[in-house]
Amino acid sequence: MEQHKHNHSVSENNEKKTLTVIIFTIIMMCIEIAYGYITHSMALLADGYHMGTHALALGLTYIAYILTRKFANSDIFLNGPEKIGTLAGYTSSIFLGLTGVWIIIEALERFINPLQINFNDAILVAIIGLVVNAACILIMEGKNSHKHEHHDDHNEDYNYKAAYYHILADALTSLLAIIALLIGKYFHIIFLDSIVGILGGILILNWTINLLKGTTKILLDIKD
């Protein structure tokens, strides 16, 4: 009973954090898209719409928390509604994997057919994205955010963990982009932008595989 109360408290805390991050993400997405149209900046528009995909994944996380709470005392589930969050984490992991694949494809395409980069606009977008994502990571981080005291796949909040990795992936791509763009601007090594994109995409796919393994184990009731 004490463990159940602890898990419920952690989930409620994670739900509040997720809602805060969703609000941050949507506000930033609207600002970037609006400013992108005003300044005709494709970099700002692209990043704005990209943040929209993360807002969608975070929204899925939040809905899962609401459904889990709604059916907490329902008897329609054989083992309780906890797997709703795991299923949401699994689905969100797929979105994360698609993001990684999209980044790699885009990076390969730009490596083969280099585009003219507006460095000032692109660096501005990347810095804004990094600042917003850093703030979201600080909100989502904290004791017992997505891990419990006893490390166990079946006790881990994969719903929250998948959402956390979406924000982390966005922050990573922004950081790598800033480094690559600064080198490209001042040292004219343009292809580095594509290389760091590919490396970032591979890392995101690695996170995706780990999340899918953990959530699949719970959904299929595989023994540790």
Is residue 159 within 8 Å of residue 85, measured between CB atoms?
Answer: yes
pLDDT at residue number 148: 46
- 68 versus 43: which is more confidently predicted? 68
CA-CA distance, 192 to 184, in Å (whole number)?
7
* Of 39-48, 107-116, 189-198, the least confident: 39-48
**What percentage of the chain has pLDDT greater than the value 90?**
31
Which of 75, 74, 80 is CA-nearest to residue 11?
80
pLDDT at residue number 2: 45
Give the tokens for residue 48. Answer: 């704005």
Mean pLDDT value across residues 152-166 = 82
pLDDT at residue number 39: 66
Helices (H), the chain: 2-39, 42-70, 83-112, 119-140, 158-187, 192-219
Mean pLDDT value across residues 151-173 = 82
3-state secondary structure of 118: coil
pLDDT at residue number 73: 85
pLDDT at residue number 103: 84
pLDDT for 88-103, tens place per residue?
999 999 999 998 898 8
Domains of the chain (ranges; CATH) run 2-219 (1.20.1510.10)
Give the tokens for residue 68. Answer: 């889990």
pLDDT at residue number 41: 61
CA-CA distance, 172 to 132, in Å (whole number)?
12
